[in-house]
Structure formats: structure tokens, C-alpha cells
């Protein structure tokens, strides 16, 4: 009977059996497209994400923090590389994907369109933004597409390190002067809601989700992940001695979860659609780096070509 199954049915059967799909396997066009979109968005987020934190490298307040921040931002570049490679296995080259980013056709995580205004932001980004990223990414470690899932496993290990580092920055500051404590609370106030928005639109407004769940590209819904993040963060905030800017945030004895206020979806869409505080700067910085690097890439290519010719003429 099984041989009467269509390719598509057989593919779904493999997914349902928790088999990993590999690059050379047959897959529906929609599956490939969805993956390319999601993986490339994710890759772009890693490299755009280097900018808000990278801008504090030269101002990090101690040798220890400077080294940790350099290493962290470098990790994010590495994550970008893993993900571009994963997208490449699906037939989407890095040049093409970068072109989509630079022309505004591809999206990246909106969180990076917010500015890092004080050193406490570096702590808050590590704690909340990397923390929210981990929530998403841990679920993706079991994604049905093998190369993506494996990239996520590597990435998750480093992300949890980033989160601890960020939290440690804030802990240290909370043991410090009043000015430092104020700085921490202010940063948490600014990063809390955008971090919640990182999980994307509410499930009822998330049109692609059902298919992604069926294909096991996604394992948990946006709202489920968001709830997990809130449940994880509230006790951490208490230990830290900061509050979240949400008067409705409280523990619900019945559900066993923290309930929270309504997200400002207008702001969410405004930033997604390009009108956040730093959208233009972020994109401009990426485009500038790319354009100013063109002659360098050309030179490397020309040199590699010359070397190839030299080697082949040696052999001949």
C-alpha cells in the first residue's frame, strides 16, 4: 500500500516518524521555501545583532568585560556563518541572501532595531534578548531539517553562555552604586517589552505557523514560547532586584503561569515594517560594510584565481 503514497505523503510520514530530513532528500517546495526564509532571517538577525552590542566594545568598562563582549559578538558572527551554511544546503547562496537583506527584502529580528544606550543595556540584552533567543532556539534543536537542527545545537550552547554573562553584568551593577542600579532598572524597562515581541505575533495572527508546526520546523507556538520566557524571567528578575514594566504581571495560581499585560502590537508592526528607532542605521551599517568590502572580496577572488592558474600550470 505504501507505494501508492505520493512523495508528499511519504515526506510527511518521515516527519511524523521524527526522521531528520537531509539536504539531498526530496522535500516539498513550500518546505524548502519556508526553511530558507526562516534560516536566512535567523542568519541576518545574528549579523545585524552584532551591531547594537558591537558598538559597546570600545567602551566596555574593564578588560574582563571587553574580552567577554568581543567574544560574544564574535560568537554571533559565527552563528551567522553556521546559518548561512545551513541555508546553502537548501540552494540559497550567501550572496543572494545578503542581497535580500541589503535591499530590505529580507527581514531580521526587530529587537536589533532598538538602541543600546548605556552599559546596562549590554547586560539586559544578554539576559533578556539572548534569553528569549534561547527559548526559540532550544525548540529548533529538534527541527525536522537536519542541517538546521544541528546548527541550532551548536548555537544554543553559546547562547546560554551569553545569557549568563549578561545576567552577571547586571548582578554586578546591582551590587554597586545607586546610579548603577538605576541604570539597570532603566535598561530592563526598555528591553522587556521588545523581548516579549521577539516571539512574534500572537498565535491567532500567525498565518504560517500551522504549516510550520505540521512540518516540525516549529515545535512550539509563539505564545507558548513567550509564556515560557515570562515564567523563566520573573524569578530571575526577583533575584536581581529589578521589576518589569508591567502592572498586570502576576502569578496565576490556577494556571501555574505568570500572566502579563497586552503587548503593544502597533509598536511591534511599526518596527517590523521599518520604522523602529534604529532600522535605518542598522541596515545602512550592513550595506556600508558590504560596499566598502567589495574591493577586498574582488581582490581575494582575483588572487585565488591567479593561484589556481599557477598551480595548474605547475602540474602541467
Partner 1 sequence: MQEFTRQSILILADNLMILGQRLGEWCGHGPILEQDIALTNIALDLIGEARNYYQYLAETEGKHEDDYPMLRDAREFKNVLLTEQPNGHWGDTIARQFLFDCFHFHLLEHMVASSDQRISAIAKKSVKEAAYHLSFSGDWVIRLGDGTEDSHQKIQRSVNKFWPYWMEMFTPTEAEQHAIQEGILPDLNKVYEAASSKLESVLAEATLIKPEGQHSRKGGKEGFHSEHLGYILAEMQYLQKSYPGASW
Check binding of 33 to partner 1 (CB under 8 A).
no
| 169 near partner 1 (CB under 8 A) | yes
Q: Closer CB to partner 1, residue 273 or residue 307?
A: 307
Q: If binding is defined by CB under 8 A, does position 287 make contact with partner 1?
A: no
* 292 touches partner 1 by CB under 8 A: yes
Longest dimension (CA), the chain: 79
How far is CA 299 from its chain centroid? 32
The grid coordinates listed for 150 are 544541528
Rule CB under 8 A: choose which of 4, 18, 253, 295 binds partner 1: 295
Cβ atoms 226, 163 nearer than 8 A? no
Q: Is 38 exposed, middle or buried (0-12, 13-18, 19+ CB in 10 A)?
A: buried
Q: b/e string for 182-198 if b means 16 or more Cβ within 10 A?
A: ebbbbbbebbbbbbbbb
Alpha-carbon gap, residue 224 to 310, rounded angstroms? 58
Note whether 191 and 121 are within 8 A (CB).
yes
> What residues between 58 and 117 interact with partner 1 by CB under 8 A?
58-63, 65-67, 70-71, 73-74, 77-78, 80-81, 84
Asked if residue 119 binds partner 1 (CB under 8 A), the reply is: yes
Dihedral, CA of residue 232, residue 39, residue 274 and residue 284, to nearest 10: 110
Element (H, E) at 257: strand 257-259
**Residue 176 contacts partner 1 per CB under 8 A:** yes
Is residue 51 at the binding interface for partner 1, with CB under 8 A as the rule?
A: yes
Of 23, 117, 213, 289, the residue at the interface with partner 1 (CB under 8 A) is 289
Q: With binding defined as CB under 8 A, does residue 311 bind partner 1?
A: no
Instruction: For partner 1, give the closer residue by CB, 83 or 217.
Output: 83
Residues at the interface with Fe ion (CB under 5 A): 46, 76, 79, 130, 159, 162
Closer to Fe ion by Cβ: residue 46 or 246 = 46
| Binding-site ranges for partner 1 (CB under 8 A) | 47, 50-51, 54, 57-63, 65-67, 70-71, 73-74, 77-78, 80-81, 84, 119, 169, 172-173, 175-177, 179-180, 285, 288-290, 292-300, 302-303, 306
Amino acid at each position: 500500500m505504501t507505494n501508492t503514497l505520493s512523495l508528499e505523503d511519504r515526506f510527511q510520514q518521515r516527519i511524523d516518524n521524527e526522521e531528520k530530513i537531509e539536504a539531498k532528500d526530496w522535500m516539498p517546495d513550500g518546505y524548502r521555501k519556508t526553511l530558507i526564509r526562516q534560516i536566512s532571517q535567523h542568519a541576518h538577525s545574528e549579523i545585524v545583532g552584532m551591531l547594537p552590542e558591537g558598538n559597546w566594545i570600545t567602551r566596555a568598562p574593564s578588560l574582563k568585560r571587553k574580552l567577554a563582549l568581543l567574544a560574544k559578538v564574535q560568537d554571533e558572527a559565527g552563528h551567522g556563518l553556521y546559518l548561512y551554511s545551513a541555508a546553502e544546503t537548501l540552494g540559497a547562496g550567501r550572496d543572494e541572501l545578503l542581497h535580500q537583506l541589503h535591499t530590505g527584502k529580507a527581514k531580521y529580528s526587530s529587537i536589533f532595531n532598538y538602541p543600546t544606550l548605556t552599559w546596562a543595556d549590554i547586560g539586559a540584552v544578554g539576559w533578556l534578548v539572548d534569553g528569549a533567543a534561547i527559548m526559540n532556539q532550544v525548540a529548533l534543536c529538534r527541527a525536522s531539517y537536519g542541517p538546521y537542527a544541528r546548527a541550532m545545537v551548536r548555537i544554543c550552547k553559546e547562547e546560554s553562555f551569553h545569557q549568563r554573562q549578561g545576567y552577571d553584568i547586571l548582578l554586578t551593577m546591582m551590587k554597586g552604586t545607586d546610579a548603577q542600579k538605576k541604570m539597570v532598572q532603566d535598561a530592563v524597562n526598555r528591553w522587556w517589552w521588545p523581548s516579549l515581541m521577539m516571539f512574534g505575533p500572537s498565535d491567532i495572527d500567525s498565518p504560517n505557523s500551522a504549516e510550520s508546526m505540521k512540518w516540525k520546523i516549529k515545535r512550539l507556538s509563539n505564545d507558548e514560547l513567550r509564556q515560557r520566557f515570562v515564567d523563566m524571567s520573573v524569578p530571575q528578575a526577583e533575584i536581581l532586584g529589578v521589576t518589569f514594566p508591567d502592572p498586570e504581571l502576576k502569578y496565576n495560581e490556577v494556571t501555574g503561569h505568570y500572566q502579563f499585560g497586552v503587548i503593544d502590537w502597533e509598536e511591534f508592526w511599526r518596527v517590523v515594517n521599518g520604522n523602529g528607532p534604529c532600522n535605518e542605521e542598522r541596515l545602512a551599517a550592513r550595506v556600508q560594510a558590504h560596499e566598502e568590502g567589495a574591493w577586498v572580496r574582488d581582490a581575494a577572488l582575483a588572487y585565488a584565481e591567479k593561484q589556481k592558474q599557477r598551480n595548474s600550470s605547475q602540474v602541467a
